[in-house]
Amino acid sequence: MKVFVTGASGFIGSAIVKELIDAGHQVTGLARSERSAEKIRQAGAEAVEGDLADLEILRQNALYADGIIHAAFSHDFMISKDISQFPKAAEMDRLAIEAMGEVLINTDKPLIVTAGLLGLPLINGKITEESIAENSLRASEATALKLAEKGVNASVIRLAPSVHDVGDYGFVPFIISKARENGVSAYPGDGNNRWTGIHRLDAARLFRLALEKGVRGALYNGVEDESMALKELAGIIGEKLHVPMEALSGEDLNKHFEWLAHFITMDCPVTNLKTKRQLGWEPMNISLLEDIEQNYF
């Protein structure tokens, strides 16, 4: 299968590219720079330069491909101290998904869209595959489901908040950096809200299986079997950095965690049973907790 991958040079996307190539697929990756393009070529894929704002490039490559994996998202908001840039990134994401989807209507070509698990409603105390995003800042899931209603073979992988492995630059490294900077390992409220993860290689395999075996309109929960409380995470960080733990709320929480304060109070207990059953997928790599202990300090 000829597969077009956005975000192909990124932390998750590069693992997806390798997984696809190892399985015999041909890959073309979207690259925002020549440096990214070279990384994609070194992985054995073709590269096309452009970004999520280049809608015509997205349309052309989606039309040419046999399948699309949309793993890109603008994370420029992470360099700011607040979340004000997130809506802009979310709108760019929505337009990119629509551009690729509109050329796939009434075809069997799979479009796999990346979304998140944070903030989804609980069903009997868990986020399940039936939990639907409501009033989410990120419209990825809703956009993909609307395309599925129009006849696009679109499905969604909702990733855990921490996709972990050596080289992670996401939420957990940011939390660690704030503990170093502020001299305290903080957690929100009572610290009992749960944080989930998925190993990068397990996520890559999930994307491949969804591409090969997924069904239109399906929602897949990309999360490993274990979760951890934020207070437990703060305890590990405090121990490793030799700084005290502290519960924060209100303005103190916002000041410490900056843009992450919006997300870190969310509870994320997730089940992946339906995903595992439908795709024959099992997490096989070390857990978030083990990875933090071994590789994050």
Asked if residue 297 is part of any domain, the answer here is no
Question: Which pLDDT band, with edges at 50, 70 and 90, does 86 fall under?
Answer: confident
The residue-averaged pLDDT of 170-198 equals 96
Answer positive or negative: Cα dihedral of 18, 158, 125, 148.
negative
Of the CA atoms within 13 Å of residue 290, those in its CB half-sphere come to: 9
Asked if residue 258 is part of any domain, the answer here is no
pLDDT confidence of residue 231: 97
Question: Which pLDDT band, with edges at 50, 70 and 90, does 248 fall under?
Answer: very high
pLDDT confidence of residue 209: 98
The residue-averaged pLDDT of 10-20 equals 97
Question: Which pLDDT band, with edges at 50, 70 and 90, does 294 fall under?
Answer: very high
> Does the pTM of the predicted model rise above 0.85?
yes
Question: Which pLDDT band, with edges at 50, 70 and 90, does 5 fall under?
Answer: very high
Range of lowest pLDDT (85-94, 152-161, 212-221, 261-270)? 85-94
Report the candidate in 157, 64, 149 with the shortest Cα–Cα distance to residue 106. 149
Tell me the three-class secondary structure of the chain, residue by residue: CEEEEECCCCCCHHHHHHHHHHCCCEEEEEECCHHHHHHHHHCCCEEEECCCCCHHHHHHHHHHCCEEEECCCCCHHHHCCCCCCHHHHHHHHHHHHHHHHHCCCCCCCEEEEEEECCCCCCECCEECCCCCCCCCCCCHHHHHHHHHHCCCEEEEEEECCEEECCCCCCHHHHHHHHHHHHCCEEEECCCCCEEEEEEHHHHHHHHHHHHHHCCCCCEEEECCCCEEEHHHHHHHHHHHHCCCEEEECHHHHHHHHHHHHHHHCCCCCECCHHHHHHHCCCCCCCCHHHHHHHHCC
Asked if residue 294 is part of any domain, the answer here is no
Q: Does residue 141 register a pLDDT over 60? A: yes
The residue-averaged pLDDT of 24-35 equals 96
Report the candidate in 176, 32, 39 with the shortest Cα–Cα distance to residue 92. 32
Domain count along the chain: 1
Domain of residue 77, CATH code = 3.40.50.720
d(CA 111, CA 161): 22
d(CA 183, CA 296): 17
Task: State which residues form the domain around 22.
Answer: 2-164+197-225+270-284
Percent of the chain with pLDDT over 70: 97
Asked if residue 254 is part of any domain, the answer here is no
Q: Does residue 78 register a pLDDT over 60? A: no
Q: Does residue 210 register a pLDDT over 80? A: yes
Asked if residue 157 is part of any domain, the answer here is yes
Asked if residue 180 is part of any domain, the answer here is no
Averaged pLDDT score across all residues of the chain: 94
Of the CA atoms within 13 Å of residue 296, those in its CB half-sphere come to: 29
Percent of the chain with pLDDT over 90: 89
pLDDT confidence of residue 80: 57
CB count, 10 Å around CB of 229? 16
Asked if residue 252 is part of any domain, the answer here is no
Query: Quick one: 217 exposed, middle or buried, by C-beta within 10 A (0-12, 13-18, 19+)?
Result: middle
Asked if residue 85 is part of any domain, the answer here is yes
The residue-averaged pLDDT of 233-261 equals 96
The residue-averaged pLDDT of 228-246 equals 97
- Phi, psi dihedral angles at 79 (to 5 degrees): -90, -5
Q: Does residue 81 register a pLDDT over 80? A: no
Q: Does residue 38 register a pLDDT over 60? A: yes
More confident residue, 185 or 87: 185
